[in-house]
């Protein structure tokens, strides 16, 4: 078995239809079947290739050539509530198969980073195993409500991508424009990501075992003064030690590992796909760790000669997260402290009962080692996602399906601060404990009727349906202090003296049920395989809104013209396919607090009467029954092409979207309002941009292949208007130095991503700061007070262009790939430099450039564009090698592969901070924070065995 160019394909499943007999191809592409009868049908499946059925005529040998799905125009693309042939697709939809994912990461999201045009994937805390991942598609979509794309896993909206093992993913389809996403209505303003997991295959059970091991090293540390330099510059006392505080708060080359076992097989009427996963990950921060186990069972049953099908998917995951930075109760900034502490101090004290130098440092500084070690901080998660679909094949062209699904997730948090901890000593209490439990449940029911038929020159693919989903959550928390012993930690809550004294705390909450109901439909019509029209509509209601604004209508319309099918291009041999697309769609956003449109009451203050304490109840917030949907209206124009015998292919999209009725919390007068803030519809914004993909099959023969591909995107988000008394929105406030206020202001007419700070005008002759005022006049900060009005909009945190470049090679049994990413034309505000690179700071450490580049600067740090740097970079994001052994003679092994990947290997940039790849999602992009998680290189080795 080979591909179209003759390269052998290993790991393809070969099954004799109607029997239990199956096998898989070895590393040379060979397979063997016995007792195959003449006229039997041989079914061949392989990820990334079209499924084939071969009619066996009795010949002893077969040569089967598989067709690559990526160039097959008959490939079915998942678009929500069904599929559409690739050639009939009229919207901006990206498809990522498992084989396209980047190796070297446990997260499916990081495995597609840079692969989807317009999709920004940012880890919120570096490679911390407990870090979240932020998603943003085609720029900012709101100033208050939820930003990210809707995630749909096997038809269940609202799933968590990281609950799915990479090995279980069949495809990831991203609906990038509103004409495609409109069928999901209210939650599709940020786009839609459709995850399809693998379905069971027919045949003997195939077992795959995967094992991966990871090691991290710090790529770049902040360059602070050594103990000797610290003393030479007179920054503090000599306490007799030489301490690298950054080393003290980080683990030395931490190891992690994950194992995955897959089982797949069954008969024509009953088959199963099952997975078990285990992962233990140690973070770079001390005490940072994560333990995970998970499982999945996907099953398929057919009844009544295929008239009825029952497909079920059940996945369950548990995780335990141990954290020492950005913990669940407060942020202790251990990396920030590691930069500023006196390097002649030690974190340890053998004479202290705790073993640590607990009260090291001075004002607003503390021992980060003791801070982490003298407390425990654990989160436990349980996540269940299950759905079952009953499908009835009413005729050759008509089928109906009903799906029920449930998503249940819970989290338990526990925190204990020992009696020896700094805060315990400062407050004269013997320990502090807190626990909480939160539970959430989503339920969904959906019904669809699908019609698909081709006749003569016509093709129709249509679906109508109904969807109902509801959500609920509740939680409980308790806290207490001053315990007789530390040993039992948070499991000894009732023994703290604060409970007896009435100073302990507890609380509970419960959200009202949020309900969504919708009617939807889509029709795709094609004439002559040349002219294509797709219409989509969803009429949806949400209980979050007052009845007068509860329902919204979200239409979508797109068209395609396959120019390559026209007579004037049919004889142009180098053009294989050329399609022009245009679309318009509307989607909504109801991602805000469900209680806004209702008057809600909650427990308020206590009062004393007749020597008894009584609790009062009051209105929680200002009710706004007039609040409406945020509505996004988007235009998209695209071009798909494939030329030179499909060796070169790509697509180009440009778009413009406008979001009306933006939701935000604004200030209101008291009275008549009960509270001083009300959530209202306040304005509008727009996004414009373009996206480009280009793929080239440079070489493809029996021994060597080389393919390369580029993905590029550009986006600009602009606030158009604000209504009423809301003239601007301030974000990213700074408390110090000198209360400089906000560094981000959203202002009508300004692009989101600009910094709102003072403009640097130089230094005086004696080294003091000069800034520009609102009239453009330079002034000495000692002689004139700066005001917020003197600030200007400068720079932009959003890259002008985001690029990724993928190169893949195979040579006989070897394979290799190199993946690079680049951001071009963005600015980064270097907060580490602003706070720690000036020489006038006493009693703490500073960066080495404080007495080099900045040695002549006097006065306090200023929130100015002096600290803005160009962030353009080129990153070697992943370098991978693999070797597939000829394992056909090693029974029972059918295939064996070893591979290795290095992630985040090199960064080429002029940026002087730790990493120019900072968070660019949301409303506060472009800042390298003082407590930034260490930037690391990750080295991974893996083994995959098929039985």
Domain assignment of residue 775, given as a range:
732-940
Interatomic CA distance for residues 854 and 861, integer angstroms: 11
Interatomic CA distance for residues 425 and 349, integer angstroms: 16
The verdict on residue 133 lying in a domain is no
Strand partners, 477: 436, 507
- pLDDT tops 80 at residue 779: yes
The verdict on residue 758 lying in a domain is yes
Q: What is the pLDDT of residues 327-364, one digit of tens each?
A: 444 444 789 899 999 999 999 999 999 999 987 766 67
């009584």: which residue's tokens? 614
The verdict on residue 436 lying in a domain is no
The verdict on residue 458 lying in a domain is no
- Name the helix (H) or strand (E) containing 569: helix 567-570
Can you say whether residue 791 is alpha, beta or left, with left for phi > 0 and alpha for psi between -120 and 50 degrees?
Answer: beta
pLDDT band (50, 70, 90) for residue 675? confident
The tokens for 43 are 């079914």
Length in residues, the chain: 947
Q: Which of 322, 336, 428 is CA-nearest to residue 376?
A: 322
Q: What is the pLDDT of residues 363-384, one digit of tens each?
A: 678 899 998 899 999 999 999 9
Interatomic CA distance for residues 67 and 72, integer angstroms: 7
* pLDDT value of position 71: 56
The verdict on residue 594 lying in a domain is no
Strand pairing category for 83-85 and 76-78 = antiparallel
Interatomic CA distance for residues 786 and 784, integer angstroms: 6
- The string of DSSP codes covering 508-531 is EEEPPPEEEEEEEEEEEEEETTTE
Strand partners, 256: 214, 281
- pLDDT tops 80 at residue 714: yes
Strand partners, 417: 375, 432
* pLDDT value of position 27: 61
Q: What is the pLDDT of residues 233-259, one digit of tens each?
A: 998 899 999 999 999 999 999 999 999
Do the beta carbons of residue 711 and residue 649 sit within 8 Å?
Answer: no
Q: Is 923 helix (H, G, I), strand (E, B) or coil?
A: coil
Do the beta carbons of residue 488 and residue 538 sit within 8 Å?
Answer: no
Contacts of 39 (CB under 8 A, 6+ apart): 55, 56, 57
* pLDDT value of position 4: 64
pTM of the model: 0.90
Q: Is 138 helix (H, G, I), strand (E, B) or coil?
A: coil
- pLDDT tops 80 at residue 81: yes
Do the beta carbons of residue 700 and residue 7 sit within 8 Å?
Answer: yes
Q: What value does the mean pLDDT take over residues 309-313?
A: 96
Strand partners, 603: 617
Identify the domain boundary among 67, 87, 109: 67
Per the structure, the count of domains in the chain is 2
Lowest average pLDDT, out of 138-152, 570-584, 603-617, goes to 603-617
The tokens for 639 are 């071009």
Query: 305 or 73, which is more confident?
Result: 305
* pLDDT value of position 578: 96
Identify the domain boundary among 67, 100, 125: 67
Omega of the bond prior to 737 within 30 degrees of 0, cis?
yes
* pLDDT value of position 293: 97
Torsions phi, psi for 373 (to 5 deg): -80, -25
* pLDDT value of position 945: 93
Identify the domain boundary among 39, 67, 95: 67
Interatomic CA distance for residues 512 and 667, integer angstroms: 26
Q: Which of 548, 717, 563, 740 is CA-nearest to residue 640?
A: 563
- Neighbour tally for 623: CB within 10 Å: 19
The tokens for 601 are 């009451």
Interatomic CA distance for residues 248 and 299, integer angstroms: 50
The whole-angstrom distance between residue 295's C-alpha and the CA centroid of its chain comes to 21
Q: CATH number for the domain including 12?
A: 2.60.40.1120
Q: What is the pLDDT of residues 632-666, one digit of tens each?
A: 999 999 999 999 999 999 999 999 999 999 988 88
Q: What value does the mean pLDDT take over residues 282-311?
A: 94
- pLDDT tops 70 at residue 469: yes
Interatomic CA distance for residues 557 and 586, integer angstroms: 9
Dihedral over Cα of 363, 368, 370, 371: its sign: positive
pLDDT band (50, 70, 90) for residue 777? very high
Interatomic CA distance for residues 688 and 138, integer angstroms: 8
- pLDDT tops 60 at residue 326: no
Q: What value does the mean pLDDT take over residues 786-809?
A: 96
- Neighbour tally for 766: CB within 10 Å: 10
Strand pairing category for 827-830 and 868-870 = antiparallel
* pLDDT value of position 497: 87
Q: What is the pLDDT of residues 195-219, one digit of tens each?
A: 999 999 888 888 999 999 999 999 9
Alpha-helical (H) ranges within 412-551 are: 422-426, 497-500
Cα separations (Å) of 643 from 68, 95, 565? 16, 20, 14
The verdict on residue 312 lying in a domain is no
- The string of DSSP codes covering 832-854 is HHHHHS-TT--SS--BGGGGTTT
Q: Is 792 helix (H, G, I), strand (E, B) or coil?
A: strand
The side-by-side arrangement of strands in the sheet containing 52-55 is: 22-24, 13-16, 41-45, 52-55
Q: What is the pLDDT of residues 819-854, one digit of tens each?
A: 999 999 999 999 999 999 999 876 689 999 999 999
The tokens for 289 are 């760790």
pLDDT band (50, 70, 90) for residue 618? confident
Torsions phi, psi for 788 (to 5 deg): -60, -30
The verdict on residue 804 lying in a domain is yes
The verdict on residue 877 lying in a domain is yes
Strand partners, 803: 712, 822
């Amino acid at each position: 078995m080979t591909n179209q160019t003759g390269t052998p394909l290993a790991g393809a499943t070969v099954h004799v239809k109607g029997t239990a007999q199956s096998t898989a191809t070895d590393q040379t592409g060979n397979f063997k079947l016995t007792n195959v009868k003449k006229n039997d049908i041989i079914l061949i499946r392989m990820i990334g290739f079209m499924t084939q059925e071969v009619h066996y005529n009795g010949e002893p040998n077969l040569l089967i050539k598989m067709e690559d799905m990526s160039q097959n125009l008959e490939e079915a693309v998942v678009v929500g509530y069904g599929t559409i042939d690739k050639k009939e697709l009229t919207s901006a939809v990206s498809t990522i198969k498992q084989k396209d994912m980047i190796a070297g990461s446990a997260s499916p999201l990081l495995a597609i980073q840079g692969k989807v045009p317009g999709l920004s994937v940012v880890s919120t805390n570096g490679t911390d195993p407990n870090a979240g991942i932020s998603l943003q598609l085609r720029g900012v979509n709101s100033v208050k409500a939820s930003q990210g794309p809707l995630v749909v896993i096997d038809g269940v909206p609202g799933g968590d991508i990281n609950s799915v093992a990479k090995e279980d993913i069949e495809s990831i389809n991203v609906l990038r424009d509103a004409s495609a996403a409109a069928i999901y209505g209210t939650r599709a303003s940020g786009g839609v990501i459709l995850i399809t997991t693998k379905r069971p295959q027919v045949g003997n059970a195939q077992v795959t075992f995967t094992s991966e091991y990871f090691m991290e090293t710090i790529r770049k540390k902040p360059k602070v003064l050594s103990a000797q330099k610290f003393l030479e510059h007179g920054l503090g006392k000599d306490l007799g030690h030489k301490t690298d505080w950054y080393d003290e708060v980080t683990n030395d080359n931490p190891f992690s590992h994950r194992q995955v076992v897959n089982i797949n097989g069954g008969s024509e009427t009953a088959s199963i796909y099952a997975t078990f996963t285990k992962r233990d990950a140690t973070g770079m921060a001390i005490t940072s760790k994560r333990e995970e186990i998970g499982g999945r069972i996907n099953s398929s049953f057919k009844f009544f000669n295929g008239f009825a099908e029952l497909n079920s998917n059940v996945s369950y995951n548990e995780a335990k997260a141990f954290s020492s930075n950005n913990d669940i109760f407060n942020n202790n900034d251990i990396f920030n402290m590691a930069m500023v502490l006196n390097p002649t101090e030690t974190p340890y004290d053998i004479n202290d009962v705790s073993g640590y130098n607990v009260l090291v440092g001075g004002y607003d500084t503390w021992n980060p080692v003791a801070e982490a070690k003298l407390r425990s901080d654990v989160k436990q998660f349980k996540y269940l996602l299950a759905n079952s679909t009953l499908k009835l094949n009413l005729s050759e062209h008509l089928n109906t399906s009903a799906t029920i699904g449930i998503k249940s997730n819970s989290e338990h948090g526990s925190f204990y601060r020992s009696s020896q901890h700094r805060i315990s000593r400062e407050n004269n209490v013997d320990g502090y404990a807190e626990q909480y439990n939160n539970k959430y449940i989503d339920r969904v029911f959906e019904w669809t009727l699908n019609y698909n038929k081709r006749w003569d020159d016509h093709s129709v693919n249509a679906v109508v349906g109904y969807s109902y989903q509801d959500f609920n959550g509740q939680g409980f928390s308790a806290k207490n202090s001053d315990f007789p012993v530390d040993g039992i930690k948070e499991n000894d809550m009732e023994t703290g003296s604060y409970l007896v004294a009435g100073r302990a705390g507890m609380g509970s909450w419960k959200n009202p049920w949020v309900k969504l109901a919708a009617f939807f439909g889509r029709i795709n019509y094609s004439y002559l395989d040349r002219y294509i029209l797709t219409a989509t509509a969803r009429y949806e209601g949400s209980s979050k809104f007052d009845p007068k604004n509860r329902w919204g209508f979200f239409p979508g319309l797109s068209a395609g013209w396959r120019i390559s099918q026209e007579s004037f291009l049919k004889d142009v041999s180098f053009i294989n396919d050329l399609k022009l697309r245009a679309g318009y769609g509307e989607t909504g956003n109801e991602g805000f607090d469900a209680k806004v449109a209702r008057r809600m009451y909650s427990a308020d203050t206590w009062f004393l009467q007749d020597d008894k304490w009584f609790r009062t109840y009051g209105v929680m917030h200002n009710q706004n029954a007039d609040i409406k949907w945020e509505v996004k209206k988007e235009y998209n124009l695209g071009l798909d092409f494939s030329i030179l015998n499909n060796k070169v292919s790509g697509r180009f999209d440009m778009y413009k979207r406008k979001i009306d009725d933006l939701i935000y919390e604004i200030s209101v007068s008291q009275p008549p309002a009960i509270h001083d803030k009300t959530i209202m519809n306040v304005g509008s914004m727009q996004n414009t941009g373009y996206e480009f993909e280009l793929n080239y099959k440079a070489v493809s023969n029996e021994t060597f292949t080389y393919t390369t591909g580029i993905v590029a995107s550009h986006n600009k988000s602009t606030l158009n208007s604000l209504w009423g008394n809301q003239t601007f929105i301030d974000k990213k406030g700074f408390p110090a130095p000198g209360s400089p206020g906000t560094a981000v202001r959203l202002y009508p007419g300004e692009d989101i991503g600009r910094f709102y700070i003072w403009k640097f005008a130089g230094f005086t002759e004696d080294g003091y700061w000069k800034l520009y005022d609102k009239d453009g006049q330079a002034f000495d900060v000692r002689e004139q007070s700066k005001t917020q009005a003197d600030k200007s909009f400068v720079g932009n945190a959003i890259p002008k262009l985001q690029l990724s470049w993928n190169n893949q090679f195979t040579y006989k049994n070897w394979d290799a790939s190199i993946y690079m990413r680049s951001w071009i034309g963005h600015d980064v505000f270097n907060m580490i430099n602003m706070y720690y690179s000036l020489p006038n700071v006493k009693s703490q450490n500073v960066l080495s450039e404080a007495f080099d580049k900045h040695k002549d600067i006097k006065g306090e740090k200023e929130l100015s564009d002096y600290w803005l740097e160009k962030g353009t970079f080129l990153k070697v994001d992943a370098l991978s090698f693999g070797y597939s052994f000829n394992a056909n003679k090693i029974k029972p092994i059918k295939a064996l592969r070893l591979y290795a990947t290095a992630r985040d290997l090199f960064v080429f940039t002029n940026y002087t901070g730790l990493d120019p790849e900072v968070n660019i999602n949301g409303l506060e992009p472009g800042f390298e924070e003082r407590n930034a998680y260490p930037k690391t290189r990750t080295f991974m080795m893996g083994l995959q065995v098929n039985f």
